[in-house]
Amino acid sequence: MSTVDGAQAQEQVVARGTFACPIERQEASYVVKHVVLDGAELGEFVLCRSCGSEFAPKVLNADEHAQETSLHEALSLLFSAMIIADGVIKEPELVMARQLLARHDIDYDTDVLKTDSKRVLGDLADILREASRHLSLANRRLLLEGATLIGHADRELRVEERDLILNAGRHMGFTRSAIAELLDAAATRPRDA
């Protein structure tokens, strides 16, 4: 309950869930509160249960097109970076990247690797930081899982590939232990996953 100009406003929780908190830049739990003052409905707000920030309800309906664009760009760039990380473009890595990107209706252009590899590596940190603001925790995890699958596609995760995964994970807000768990899980997963 809160006070508005001396009157008591009634707050009722009408929904709960998790969302990508714009302040915390990570997945957090929330409640939606409906506010009534002296019988008049004042509206609703979203309260982040982690940081205590309040938002308009539209924060829960973030622009899906922007999220999809952000996910597609991050997938393409991270996967390209994984393929060129060790300096050798290998067919099993290309095949795995094509399969993973096809699940998101992304056509994979292998010519990008040959002509634009410096741009891919140069922009990656910025793209991943941006993705961490726009993408859910599940989508950020999807990016890292895909990168680990590509790294293991040739049955050998090289130091450069592992370092890229660790850096990408940190840029997207994952802890070292969470990234290590993903790497371990990918190492034991069948290669045709």
For the chain, list the domains and their CATH numbers: 2-61 (no CATH), 64-188 (1.10.3680)
Instruction: For residue 87, give the amino acid letter.
Output: G
Asked if residue 97 lies in contact with residue 150, where contact means CB atoms within 8 angstroms, the answer is: yes
How long is the chain?
A: 193
Q: What is the mean pLDDT of residues 26-38?
A: 86
pLDDT of 90-123, one tens digit each? Answer: 889 988 988 888 888 877 676 666 555 555 656 6
Backbone angles phi, psi at 38, to 5 degrees: 50, 45
The pLDDT confidence band at residue 193, using thresholds 50, 70 and 90, is: very low
- What is residue 112's predicted lDDT score, i.e. its pLDDT? 65
pLDDT of 57-77, one tens digit each? Answer: 888 766 565 667 778 878 888
State whether residue 69 is helix, strand or coil: helix
Asked if residue 19 lies in contact with residue 6, where contact means CB atoms within 8 angstroms, the answer is: no
Q: Cα–Cα–Cα angle for 73, 26, 83, nearest 5°?
A: 35
Backbone angles phi, psi at 46, to 5 degrees: -105, 130
Rg over alpha carbons for the chain, rounded to the nearest Å, is 21
| Rounded Cα–Cα distance for residues 23 and 149 (Å) | 31
Q: What is the per-residue burial (b if ≥16 Cβ within 10 Å, else e) of 114-137?
A: eebbeebeeebeebbebbbebbbb
pLDDT(34) > 60: yes
- What is residue 47's predicted lDDT score, i.e. its pLDDT? 93
pLDDT of 17-28, one tens digit each? Answer: 777 788 887 778
Which of 166 and 89 is assigned the larger pLDDT? 166
In terms of Cα–Cα distance, which of 84, 101, 106, 83 is closest to 153? 83
Q: pTM of the full predicted structure?
A: 0.62
Bridge partners (DSSP) listed for residue 29 = 18
